[in-house]
Each structure stands twice: as structure tokens, then as C-alpha cells.
Amino acid sequence: MKIWHPYTQHFYSSDLPEIEYARGAYLHTKDSRRILDAISSWWVNIHGHCHPHIVQAIANQAARLEQVIFAGFTHEPAERLALELGKWLPKELQTLFFSDNGSTSVEVALKMALGFFHHRGENRKKVIALEGAYHGDTFGAMAVGARGGFHRPYESHLFEVIRVPCNDPAVLEKVFQKNPDVAALIVEPLVLGAGGMQMYPSEILRKMAQLCRDAGSLFIADEVMTGFGRTGTFLACEQADIVPDLVCLSKGITGGFLPLGVTLARQEIYDGFYSADRNRTFFHGHSYTANPIACAAAVASLEVFKSEESLSRVRRMSDWHSKRLAKLAEHPGISSTRVCGSIAAMDLAVSDSGYLSQIGPELYREFLAEGVLLRPLGNVVYLLPPYCVTENDINEVYDVIEKCISRSL
């Protein structure tokens, strides 16, 4: 039986490293190599691999209740997660819906937004998204993501979306003026992840939220990647002093152990579906909705987030990034650099920029040969390490980047 791996062109990838175990910031291969996981294994592993507190919480829960249908039932891990997560969130966001991953949390938010206006009898069906955005690979998430290489074969099946740049609120203002029937604006706050780690200031995020509010539309914040401290605050939206109508969370929620998604909603959105009329039920669910083991892992991850002062760790990481990028910015092969919390990125000066730039897979192989897992987004090299990394770990990564770039450019 052949395994088909995600985002992998197997024409070029025939010999894949086999990971035998992992500890902290390091992966260990079957052939005894050690690889520094500088991207948190696709941005999910915030505390480091196999954190003992989360390991124990999972073992305890697995021996007690592994799974139960969540339609018509509840359980202690889900109730506790809702309670503990609520302590980190604004009081306006105290209703949550469980799903499986980041993409499904976005699907839920979009369906909530469109269903909300449908039940109110308002003809608001349009959605605005940012240019260069990525929100997942299910069909609704693909629709609000950037069109192009990722989604080209499916474009004819995706609903139309109005797109605006992330750095010019004036364009968004004009769009709202011309389109009074907008249901929602969805954004990746502060950092557009898979779109090349594009970053924009909190002032623009605040302005976008205000324009959305003024238009009577719902503001959806996709915090799947930016949540749980990645940008320096628990939610990126805190830096703009805004509370969205809907927030999508996943990735770091279980500390990288198990898949889980959450969509947070304001009370009025929940109330829009609350009715004696069963036709107004929110008809959405997954077999593993609020899986007890995943919820227990998420509770344990929040405990680690607090006990290990993760936000302080992120601030230190930001300083380490800035220090090394100041030097790398002078490299002739690098055209720009940027930092936001634990996230650092640099654009390589190559002629074929973009996600399919040939430099990406070439550097990926070189980084891996040097013992570092970095997965460039085309000509964009980025770091998004777990919070347990040391300054020596960060310096090791930058040394490898400098060495490989100097050799390749």
C-alpha cells in the first residue's frame, strides 16, 4: 500500500525520513539523526514534542472515556476546556463550537455567518477576504483563500468572494460602500501564514474591524495559526484592541498532540439559531466533535501555557529573531525581513518568486541535510519554532539558513 503525503509532489520525493520519536524541539529519525523542528511540525507544537504534562493527561483520559457522540451528550473534558479557554478570552466570546481542525473551524464560522443573516431574513450573502489569504483546504475554506496553484482545479466549484489587500483599508471601505449585502469579512489577523508570512500592523486590523462593524457585517478572525501566543498575545486581535464576532482556533490548541478545532461566537450569533423551529438548528457536526482525549490534551496545554509563562517565552524569541535578522538583512540574497512574536520571515531575492519558486524545495533539502526542519513557502523562508527552544537553538537555525542561502544564491 502506497502512502500519499500532503503537499508533496512524489515525483521529487521518493525517500522520506522516518521519525522514530521526538522530544522538546527535536525530532529523531530511525537512522539516528537529530532534526531541530523550527516550524513546530506545521505550526501545531507550541510547547515542544511529548511534553510530559500533556502526555499524562492524554493517558489518564484514554483510560476513562475515549469517545462519545457529542450530539445530545456532553462530558467533563469539553466542559472544562470551555471554562479554561474562556479565562483567556474576551467576555464577548463565550460561546464555542467544536470541530476537527483549522479548516473545519473556518467552515463553521462561514456557515454561522451566512446562516445568521438568513435566519434574520437579511439578504446578506457576500463574503470579503484578503488577497493572498489561506484558510484551509475544505471547499468553503478554499473559496475564501487565494485562488491559484493550490485551488485551480476546483475554482469552478467555489463561491465568489470579494478580495481586498491587507495593507489598504481604503479599498475595503469602498467595497463596503458598493456592497451593502456583505455578510462577513474574514481575515488572518496580523500575519497571512501560507500566503508567505505577510505581516501588517495592528492599526490596519483595527480599521478593518471598524469598517466591518460600521457596515453591519460580521468580522471573522482566523486565528488558527496566530492564536495561543504566536504573535505575542494570546490572540493576535488583542493587539488591535478588537473583539471579533467569530474566531477560528486550532493548531496549537492541544499543544500539537491531537486534532481539534474551535469556533468562538458572540452570543447574538448563537441566539440567531436558538428557536423552537428545528429548521433553525445549526446543522453541522463531525464524528469526533469534542473528542474527550483531544479536549483533555487542550486543557493540559492551557495549563502548560500558563505555568511555563509562554507569552514571556515568545517575547524572548522575538528578540532573538530580531537580533539575527538584523544581520541577515544585509545579505545580498535577502530582499526583506520581518518579525511578529515567535514568527520570523525573510524574502529571498530570486527571479521566480511565489509559492512554486524552485528555491523553496532546494533549500528545504539543504536545511534538512544540515539537521534543521524548515519548509520554505516558495522564496519565503520562515521560522515558527516551539516555545521551548533556547537561544542556542535559534542561533543554530540562523547559522544553517545563512550557510545554505550563501551556498545557493
* C-alpha cell of residue 251: 493548531
What pLDDT, on the 0 to 100 scale, is given for residue 409? 83
Crossing angle (nearest 10°) for helices 310-328 and 391-408: 30
Active site residue 251: yes
The segment(s) of the chain belonging to CATH 3.40.640.10 are 54-307
- Report residue 376's pLDDT band, with 50, 70 and 90 as the boundaries: very high
CATH of the structural domain 309-408, one choice from 3.90.1150.10, 3.30.460.80, 1.10.10.10, 3.40.30.10: 3.90.1150.10
Average pLDDT (50-73) is 98
Fold of 54-307: Aspartate Aminotransferase; domain 2 (3.40.640)
Give dist(CA 390, CA 116) in Å, integer: 46
Active site residue 87: no
The segment(s) of the chain belonging to CATH 3.90.1150.10 are 309-408
For residue 187, is pLDDT > 80? Answer: yes
What pLDDT, on the 0 to 100 scale, is given for residue 308? 98
Q: What is the pLDDT of residues 74-94, one digit of tens each?
A: 999 999 999 999 999 999 998
Task: Determine which one of 7, 15, 87, 178 is catalytic.
Answer: 7
- Report residue 314's pLDDT band, with 50, 70 and 90 as the boundaries: very high
Q: What is the pLDDT of residues 146-184, one digit of tens each?
A: 988 778 899 999 999 999 999 999 999 999 999 999 999
Q: What is the pLDDT of residues 355-371, one digit of tens each?
A: 889 999 999 999 999 99
What pLDDT, on the 0 to 100 scale, is given for residue 148? 80
What pLDDT, on the 0 to 100 scale, is given for residue 150? 78
259-273 burial, b at 16+ Cβ within 10 Å, e below that, comes to bbbbbbbbeebbebb
Question: In which residue are the cell numbers 486550532 written?
Answer: 250
DSSP 44-97: T-SS-BT-HHHHHHHHHHHTT------SS---HHHHHHHHHHHTTS-TT--EEE
Q: What is the mean pLDDT of the chain?
A: 97
Task: Determine which one of 222, 245, 347, 393 is catalytic.
Answer: 222
Task: Determine which one of 37, 200, 251, 382 is catalytic.
Answer: 251
Beta strands (DSSP E) in 148-210 are 162-164, 182-187, 191-192, 198-199
Task: Determine which one of 26, 37, 126, 134 is catalytic.
Answer: 134
Active site residue 222: yes
